[in-house]
Amino acid sequence: MQQDLYSKRVVEERTRKWLEDAYWSALAGHGDPEKGVYDPAGRIQHLDSLAFQIVLRKLKIFRWLDRFDFESFIDIGSGFDHTPYLVRKRYGARSYYSDFAHSLNLPYGGAIHGKLDHAVTLNINRLPFADDSFDVVLSSEVLEHLVRPIEAVGELLRVTRKYLVMTSLEALSANRWERFLSHLRIDLAVPHVERNFFLLHELEDVFGADWHHENLWHDSCLPASQFVSIGEQVRAYAPIRDTETFATALCRALAIEDHRAGSMGILIVKTKPGAPIRPRSEALPLARWLVEQNAAAYADGYRLIQQLRDGTAELVAKDRPVVPELLALLRCPDCRGPLTQRPAALSCASCGSTFATEHGVPILYPKREDRRATEDDVSRLCGTDARRRRTLLRLMRRLRANEAAPGVMRRFLQRVDRALART
C-alpha cells in the first residue's frame, strides 16, 4: 500500500488534483489591486523579487525566440502564464496552451489572452500530437516535477520540428554532493514536489553536445541579493516604479549567463538539424515590451478574476466542438492515430479510445500504458551513441528510485525539515 503512494499513476493524479485546487485557491485569494504588483492602470506599485524574476525568465525565453525562424508554437505546462498569447502577438505564429490541469486550459473570458480554441489538456509523457508538430516547443518550470523526466524530454523532442526550450530553477545541481542531498530531502508525499536534480554534464548527455544553455539569473545581477533580508529586498525593489527603470534593471540582470557560483537555474535550448539561429538583438526594446505586456495582463487579470468571483466571466458552451485547426494537430495519446469529432468527445478509429472535450478543450490523458515508450525515448535522445545510452539508462534508474517508498535516511530528513518549518 505504501509503495502505491509513490507509483507514477498515483503521484500524477495527486499532482493533477493539487494543481486544480491551487488554481481555484489562487483565484479566491488574489486580484486585489491595492496589493498587486501593478495597479489597474498598469502602473508598478509593489514590485518584489518574485515578480521581477518571473519577467526576467520571460525575457530570457523571448531573447531566444527572437532568434528563431518559426510559424507554430506550443507551451507544454503553460499554467497561469500567457506566453502563447505574447508569442502570437509578437511573431504572428500559431500558438497553443497546454497543461496537465484541465481548469488551467479553460478559456474563461472568451477570447482574452487567446486561449479560446488554442488549448489542450494532456500528460507530458504521452503527448497527443504527431511527430514534428510544432516549430517551437516550450516547457518552462516543469522538468523538476516530472515522474519520468527523461521519457518526457524524449516526447518533447518528438513533437518539436525545430526548437525545444526548457527552463528549471531547481533541476541543476552545482555538484554531486548537493544533488545527493537534494534527492535525499525530497518528500514524495508532497504534490508537485521538486524531485529531479541533474549535474550539467548529465544534462549534456540528455540533450547532446549541440545544446545551448545559460543560467536563469545570477544573484549579483539582481536588484537585491536573494540572501539578504526581506526588508533589504523591499528597499531595493521600491524605486522600480516605471517601465524604463524596470526594463533597465532586467537588462542589467542579463550580464552573467554562465553557471559560476551565484548562478541559479538553467535555460536549455535544443535545436533540430537545420534549424537556424539568428544573432542576438538589443535586449532593452524587448524588455520594455515585456514589461508593458505584463502590465496589460495584470489589468486584464483583475477584471477576469472579479468576473469569476461574481459569476459573470464569459465561457463558451460546454459542448463547443474542437475547432478544425486544433483537431488537425491532435493524435490519440494511446496509439497516435488520428482523432475524429463526436458530440462532446473525440474518438480514435485505430484503437477505439474515446476522450472527452469541454468548452472546446480536448482532454487527452492516455488510457493505456505504452511499454515501448522508454526504449523509443532513449533512442530518440541519443541515437546510436552507446556511451550516452548507458548514461541515460543509469539516470533513468536513479530517478526511478523516486517511485519507491522512502528509506530510513529520507524519512529522517523529512521529519527534520518539517520540524524546522514549524519553528
- The one-character DSSP state at 366 is -
pLDDT band at 370 (very low <50, low <70, confident <90, very high): low
Overall average pLDDT of the 193-216 stretch: 94
At residue 200, φ and ψ (nearest 5 deg) are -60, -40
Does residue 378 surpass a pLDDT of 90?
no
Return the closest-CA partner of residue 170 out of 140, 190, 150: 140
The DSSP annotation for 17-31 comes to HHHHHHHHHHHHH--
The predicted-structure confidence for 401-420, as pLDDT tens digits, reads as follows 888 888 887 778 777 777 77
Does residue 194 surpass a pLDDT of 70?
yes
- Specify the pTM: 0.94
The predicted-structure confidence for 324-340, as pLDDT tens digits, reads as follows 999 999 999 999 999 99
H or E stretch at 11: helix 8-29
H or E stretch at 329: none
Does residue 423 surpass a pLDDT of 80?
no
Query: Between the ranges 183-187, 283-287, 370-374, where is the mean pLDDT highest?
Result: 283-287
- For the chain, the C-alpha Rg in angstroms (whole number) is 22
Overall average pLDDT of the 188-197 stretch: 89
Overall average pLDDT of the 342-353 stretch: 93
pLDDT at 1: 43
Q: CB-based burial of residue 385 (10 Å sphere; 0-12 exposed, 13-18 middle, 19+ buried)?
A: middle
Does residue 204 surpass a pLDDT of 60?
yes
Overall average pLDDT of the 274-288 stretch: 96
Contacts (Cβ under 8 Å, ≥6 apart) of 5 = 188, 189, 405
To which residue does cell 528549471 refer?
Answer: 168
Does residue 208 surpass a pLDDT of 70?
yes
| Whole-Å CA distances, 242 to 46, 249, 287, 296, 309 | 11, 11, 12, 14, 30
Q: Domain spanning 3-30+68-216+265-277+311-316+371-422: which superfamily?
A: Vaccinia Virus protein VP39 (3.40.50.150)
pLDDT at 32: 66
pLDDT at 230: 92
Distance of CA 397 to the CA centre of its chain: 24
Distance CA 81, CA 122 (A): 17
Give residue limits of the domains in the chain: 3-30+68-216+265-277+311-316+371-422
Kindly state the percentage of the chain with pLDDT values over 70: 96
Cell numbers of 301, please? 487579470
CA torsion angle 7 10 15 17 (round to 10) = 180
| Whole-Å CA distances, 309 to 303, 305, 353 | 10, 6, 36
Cell numbers of 315, please? 465561457
Q: CB-based burial of residue 74 (10 Å sphere; 0-12 exposed, 13-18 middle, 19+ buried)?
A: buried
One-letter amino acid for residue 51 of the chain:
A
Overall average pLDDT of the 132-149 stretch: 96
